[in-house]
Amino acid sequence: MTVASQDTRFRSLPAWFKPGEFADPAFSAATYVADLQQYVRGSAHLSVLHGDLVEVINKDYEGFLHLTSRLTSVQGAVKRIEGPLAVVKARASATRDALLAESHALTRGLAARADAAASRGLLELMQDLTHVLSKVDKLLAELPPPGDAFLGKHSSPEAVEGQCHVLNRVTAEVARLQYQVKKGQDLAFVQTLAPRIVAAADRLQTYLDLALEAAIRQQVPTALGACLNSYASINRPQAAEQVVRSTLTRPLVEQTLAALRETTPGAAGAAAPAQRPGSGAAPAAVPPAAPLPAFLEALTRGMADELGPFLAHAMATSSGVHAFEFLGNGVLAEVLEAVQARCGADLSPGVPHAFHVGARAGDAFLEALESHATAQAQVARFRACQPYSAFMKLWNLPVYFSLQFQDIAGTLERRLGEAGLADEAAPPSPSSPAFHLAATAATWQALAASANPGSSLPRLADRFFRLGLMSLARYASWVRDVAAPGPEGSVGGGGPGASSEPGPPGAPGAPSAPPSPPSNVSLARLLADLATLGEAAQACWAPAAGPGTPGEACEACARAAAVAAESLAAAGEGARARLVAALAEECTAALSQLRGIVASFRMANRRAPAAPSPYAGRLLAPLAAFLAAHAGLLGADAAARLAREVAEGVAGAYASLAADTLAALEKTESSLRRLKSRQRMADGEDTSKGSGLETQALILLQLDLDVQAFASHIQELGVDHGSLPAFQRLREVIKAAQAGGEGQM
């Protein structure tokens, strides 16, 4: 049955039959039949299936019956096929056996060949080792014994160069020996010869040390190159570094110390440093102490003459230069030992000036050493060596900064706690900005100390910069405290850190009277100091970054200084607001005469006013007097801003008082009009006569003249009255009252 016929068969099945359920892994025939029996007659469906089965069997039954007649010779056909197959199988088995035999023979031959090659290689290695070792011994035996006979002090440059070339030949053989030993290090024969090879290398190093010393003494470039190549070939760069240290650096250090002892007064009698544990040397043998900066400066000058030629050749040569670290192990190691033994007094953070000068001299000495390097990789190797890190650790920078921090921050905190707005600063030095308040001068001293090259160090630049920012932040906090309204901000002679608790009568700390609020002059001085300090802070940190500071670091410092200046300006907004409020209060005191205008016009029959009231000219008089007296203190921009803000405050108070006065006047006049109207009606008079509005009109005219005079005084202060919202509101109050009065008339 084909797939198509099967699909057709399934489509002809009844709707209740679901063939897909038979593929379910949890299918149960008994459960399925029990469910179907509830609504399907199984016997009827069985008869249908039986009929279909008979139909399928009968469909191909005739072909099945004729199948046996056509399969009579099957066994014969099978036998005819099996015969050739057996022959092929036998031939394949024989061929496979032959190939396996040949493969095994070839494998045995290759193994024997490998064993023979290994034996031959071992024999050649043994012969080569013996031959080369004998050759090295012979070459070393031909050399003069170490001492004056071999490259003594009177040897000529030609002799030095010739012996260096001979040693270069021996070095090549020793390097060959070392390679072969490394190649056959597990062999017993090689292990037996290892002591002889090491002894030969040691003898060669002895000759190389003498040759390098002679080449340095005679300044023979070719001999120097040959010696350095020899050291690099036998992998003993430390020996060459030690020769340079003992031949060049140590005599230079001793000569420098001797010269300092002769030229420095009292150096010969200086106390010697304490004996190091386990040294075994007598204290009297230790040379006296020497000043560290002078020692390093003299050593730097001497290096240019004594070490300069050798370092120029050694750092410029391209053969094996990567194997040596002459700057660190050959020069700095000896200097480090001398500094530790003779200059310990300059390494104590408890003596800040000597510590700072010594640290600066140490950094300069390291820079002088790095200047001999010809590639950045050499500088990196120099900074990674052990003497460099040990030399840097001579100065305990964290302790030094901690002491400086305590000194600078502690002094600033003490002065800010004692100072107030009434305390004036001392006369400034020629190199420092002029400040008016003692607190600002103390902050500038802390800021200058954090940026001063005389106390700061390049390796601590970030910490000192942060200390300066902290000083500005502390000053900004002090400004906010003293400028804050209320008793805590009403500072007279004492600072915000002074105790506010009264003591017993007669006690030194007991206040005799409540603290007075800060004066306008003190607030103006504070604002001037804030502006000056913000500019000075940005200017003093520009040179503190140093010419070698990366551009990104300089930009970051500039941004941080600008942010600090902005924070100072923001802290001064409270003081500015308080000064504006105080001046505005003094100015608005004259507004108390505004209510007297109503009484004066109502109590007496006055003519129409032609001039402003006297109080209008006195409204801004306190502000004008303050600006005239302290214009140089504030500056043009600050004075203009102050005048505008005070004028805005006075105009606002003027508008509020005028609105209240006119509202009260309107109520009074309305009551009077109603009263007079009833009296006229009782007398039988015309109610339209004598409305009594002349008094209100005169008052409004007087107020208008006063406002015009107020506007002219604002203009005299350099402020455009039209740009003041409070003044516009004042004009609108007057216009609204005038419009209301005209409508009633």
Interatomic CA distance for residues 158 and 153, integer angstroms:
13
SS3 437: strand
What would the pLDDT profile of 210-220 be if each residue is shown by its tens digit? 888 888 888 88
What would the pLDDT profile of 648-702 be if each residue is shown by its tens digit? 888 888 888 888 888 877 777 777 767 776 676 666 555 454 444 467 778 888 8
Angle at 161 between CA 156 and CA 162, to 5 degrees: 100
Amino acid at 27: F
Q: What tokens does 30 get?
A: 């008994």
How far is CA 410 from each of CA 351, 402, 599, 636, rounded to the nearest angstrom? 18, 11, 63, 36
- pLDDT of 75 reads 73
In the chain, % of residues over pLDDT 70: 80
- pLDDT score of 352 more than 80: yes
Residues 731, 707 contacting (CB under 8 angstroms) = yes
> Residue 154's pLDDT band (boundaries 50, 70, 90)?
low
Interatomic CA distance for residues 592 and 357, integer angstroms:
68
Residue with tokens 């200097």: 335
Q: What is the DSSP string of 222-267?
A: HHHHHHHHHHHHTT-HHHHHHHHIIIIIHHHHHHHHHHHHHHSTTS
- pLDDT score of 169 more than 80: yes
Threshold 0.95, pTM exceeds = no
Residues 734, 704 contacting (CB under 8 angstroms) = yes
Interatomic CA distance for residues 401 and 298, integer angstroms:
28
- pLDDT score of 500 more than 50: no
